A and B are shown apart, each in its own frame.
Chain A
Amino acid sequence: DSGVTQTPKHLITATGQRVTLRCSPRSGDLSVYWYQQSLDQGLQFLIQYYNGEERAKGNILERFSAQQFPDLHSELNLSSLELGDSALYFCASSPSFTSGRPGAGELFFGEGSRLTVL
């Protein structure tokens, strides 16, 4: 158990819909990262938050957005869903001493939220 909690574990929805994925980082971790894992693209970094502020952005679509709340949990919002958005979405957190830079410490991943868009 990594200590990172993600909900829901599975989600099935239709094209055009909007979903919210939730992540609670490990206790004390200030950084939250979102990754997407799909068969064709592999594991791709989407976005990082550190103590409530956006720190880095990767290959995140404009239809997707995220935020980190004062209690440090994070939500990833996916809207106008398309079939190609079906994937496993991971949240990860890293130790606070890294000051938001993952190179200084490993990422601890949650179990992922599997999104299926029909």
Chain B
Amino acid sequence: AQKVTQAQTEISVVEKEDVTLDCVYETRDTTYYLFWYKQPPSGELVFLIRRNSFDEQNEISGRYSWNFQKSTSSFNFTITASQVVDSAVYFCALSEAGGSQGNLIFGKGTKLSVKP
């Protein structure tokens, strides 16, 4: 069965600290996609990244970086030099490309609070 686990419910850091949000997934498919979304206090869901199961290269986008490791079924997200504007709930999600269910399975989310 598909499952996404974000074990960290809440994280609080001080501005400029680095923070890593953990995501562990379960799937029986060999082809799948992983996502991270951000939900700021305003409520909308903002797409951050998509990664397919055949591409294990780490990705960096500004202060954001993602570490995908198939061996441990993890897709962790690191924010470097965090800022107050990074305060949000972050969701990791999984989609099985070959599945009949055309939907994303979301984790419960990690609430990140960045204090000045």
Q: A residues near B, CB below 8 A?
A: 2, 31, 33, 42-45, 48, 50, 55-56, 58, 88, 90, 92, 100-112, 114
For A112, the chain B residues whose CB sits under 8 A away are: 43-45
CB <8 Å contact, B101 and A58: yes
For A102, the chain B residues whose CB sits under 8 A away are: 33, 95, 102-104
Cβ-based interface call for B64 (8 A) = no
For A55, the chain B residues whose CB sits under 8 A away are: 102
Beyond A103-B32, A106-B50, is A45–B44 a contact (Cβ under 8 Å)?
Answer: no
Beyond the given A42-B108, A101-B102, A109-B47, could you list 5 further A-B residue pairs with CB under 8 A, ordered by the A residue number? A2-B46, A33-B103, A43-B91, A103-B31, A114-B43
- With a 10 A CB-CB cut-off, give which of B44, B52, B101, B109 has the most chain A CB atoms: B44
Report the separation of the CA atoms of residues A114 and B43 in the bound assembly, to the nearest whole angstrom. Answer: 10
* Majority-rule SS of B interface residues: loop
For B109, the chain A residues whose CB sits under 8 A away are: 42-43
Q: Which of B42, B47, B97 contacts A106 (CB 8 A)?
A: B47
For A104, the chain B residues whose CB sits under 8 A away are: 33, 97
Cβ-based interface call for B100 (8 A) = yes
For A105, the chain B residues whose CB sits under 8 A away are: 50
Least CB separation from B37: chain A residue: A109
**Chain B residues numbered 76-116 whose CB sits less than 8 Å from any CB in chain A:** 91, 95-109
Report the separation of the CA atoms of residues A112 and B47 in the bound assembly, to the nearest whole angstrom. Answer: 15
- With a 10 A CB-CB cut-off, give which of B32, B98, B104, B107 has the most chain A CB atoms: B104
